[in-house]
Amino acid sequence: MIKMDFDPHTHSTFSDGKNTLEENILAGVGKGLKKIALTDHAYLHMAYGVSMRRLDEYLKEAYELKKAYNRDIEVLVGMEFNLLDTEGNIDIPLGYADEFELKLIGVHKLTKYSNFKSIVYMMGYQLFDKIRYSRKVLDINTKSYIAAIENNDIDIVAHPSNIARVDFKALAETCERTNTLLEINARHPDLRKGDVEKVLETKANFILGSDSHRAESIGECGYGSRFIEENSIPLNRVVNAFDA
CATH number of the structural domain spanning residue 101:
3.20.20.140
Q: Output DSSP code: residue 92.
A: P
In a domain, 242, yes or no: no
Mean of pLDDT values over 147-151? 96
Provide the number of structural domains found in the chain.
1
| Residue of 209 and 165 predicted with greater confidence | 209
User: What DSSP assignment string belongs to 25-65?
Assistant: HHHHHHTT-SEEEE-PBPTTBTTT---HHHHHHHHHHHHHH
In a domain, 36, yes or no: yes
Q: Is the pLDDT of residue 122 over 90?
A: no
Determine the pLDDT at residue 188: 86
Q: Is the pLDDT of residue 47 over 80?
A: yes
Determine the pLDDT at residue 189: 81
Q: Is the pLDDT of residue 214 over 80?
A: yes
**Domain region containing 120:** 2-232
* H helix or E strand, kind and range, residue 129: helix 129-132
Give the Å distances, CA to CA, from 50 to 16, 17, 102, 159, 192. 9, 11, 16, 20, 31
Mean pLDDT of the chain: 93
Distance CA 221, CA 218 (A): 9
Q: Are 147 and 88 in contact (CB under 8 A)?
A: yes
In a domain, 195, yes or no: yes
Q: Is 134 exposed, middle or buried (0-12, 13-18, 19+ CB in 10 A)?
A: middle
In a domain, 244, yes or no: no
Order of strands across the sheet that contains 6-7: 6-7, 35-38, 74-82, 102-106, 156-157, 181-185, 206-209
In a domain, 240, yes or no: no
Determine the pLDDT at residue 123: 77
Q: Is the pLDDT of residue 131 over 80?
A: no
Q: Is the pLDDT of residue 133 over 80?
A: no
Determine the pLDDT at residue 153: 95
